[in-house]
Structure formats: structure tokens, C-alpha cells
Amino acid sequence: FHGSGQTFAEVPNMPSSTSGGNQLEFSTDIKVIKGELFLASTIIDTQTGNVIGGAVYQSADGFTWAPVKTWTNDSPLTIAEHDGALVAGMVSGNIELEDPNGNLVQDTGIPANTGVMSLLEIATDTLLVGIRGNTGAELYRRVTTTVTTGGGTTPTTPTTPALSYVTDVKPIMQSACASCHGPNGL
């Protein structure tokens, strides 16, 4: 927050997956998805700094939380909604997608990387995926298409083509970021 008169109050009853000892759990992302709050967290070993787990929690009211999924040796760094489903970008470089049963399952189409740092849905069928690549920051586009057959519609395997800064990223940044981060921004 910036400006005057803003105050913060801690939300009571926050969820936790830690077992005590040398563990610290902290929030990595929070989003409203499908009309409810979703919170991603990471648990680290305070002596080594290594990730030892993480979780995604869901809340309808911001006070009562239920785990969606917990992980050991991996954790979500970012969450988003894509094509009406929850998506989690992981420390391991994986993406987990919500299946029709509400379970988060691994997507096998993401290029090799060392961490999914950001997710942004720019259309119901298009998700931007910011990753930490072996040579630095990389941005990919995950496109989900639907094929109509005699028996109905079936989602196809998504594609993740590399993006062009000039044609894909710059227009989004100009429309979404320039008002605050441009020459006249605060």
C-alpha cells in the first residue's frame, strides 16, 4: 500500500503445514480464482534454506482455509486461473493443473527450467508462463485449444511456443503496466 491512512491487520487462523522445529512457512502468492481465495505457500528448512514442502489452500471467506494439495520437497511459487481451472507453478519447474475431479496434476508440456516464477492468463485459452531458465529469464505461452468431434469437444495437448517480446510481451506491458511504471506513473 502507498499513500496515507493505510493500516494492516494480521488475518487470524492462517493455515500451516509445518511440523515445527526448523521449519518456516511463508506465502508465495494469493489470488482470487473462481470467486474464492487461493493461497500458495512454501516451507523451508531454516538451517539450510532448502525447500522441504509447500501447499495450496482455498478459502471462501478469508478466515477458514482448507488444503487443496500439499507437497514434499517441492512447492508452488505462483498460482493462476487458466481455462477455468487452478494452475500452480512450482519451484521444481513443473506446472500442476486442476483436472476435472479438482485434483492438481503435473502438466508434461512445459520446457525444462529451474522454476516457474509467474503465471498470467491473458485469454481463456492462453497462459503466459515466466520461468527461470538455465540461461536466465524466459517467457512461454501455453495455448489450450478444443477440437470438436462427433461425440463432443476434447481439449488438445497444449503448446508452449516461445514468445516474441515485440509482438507478444510489449503490448501487454504497455496496456497493463505503463500507467504505474511509465514516465507518468507513481
In this predicted structure, the answer to whether residue 147 has a pLDDT above a threshold of 60 is no
In this predicted structure, the answer to whether residue 59 has a pLDDT above a threshold of 50 is yes
Give dist(CA 157, CA 154) in Å, integer: 10
C-alpha cell at position 139: 517467457
Contacts of 185 (CB under 8 A, 6+ apart): 178, 179
Task: Identify whether the C-beta of residue 25 lies closer than 8 Å to the C-beta of residue 40.
Answer: no
Nearest to 56 by CA among 73, 83, 37, 34: 37
Query: pLDDT tens digits, residue range 163-185?
Result: 666 667 767 766 767 667 666 65
| pTM as predicted | 0.74
Query: pLDDT tens digits, residue range 118-145?
Result: 999 999 889 999 999 888 899 999 888 7
C-alpha cell at position 57: 489452500
Residues making up the chain, counted from first to last: 186
Give dist(CA 151, CA 172) in Å, integer: 37
In this predicted structure, the answer to whether residue 160 has a pLDDT above a threshold of 80 is no
Query: pLDDT tens digits, residue range 60-110?
Result: 988 899 999 999 999 999 999 998 899 999 999 999 999 999 999 999 888
pLDDT at 179: 67
pLDDT at 68: 95
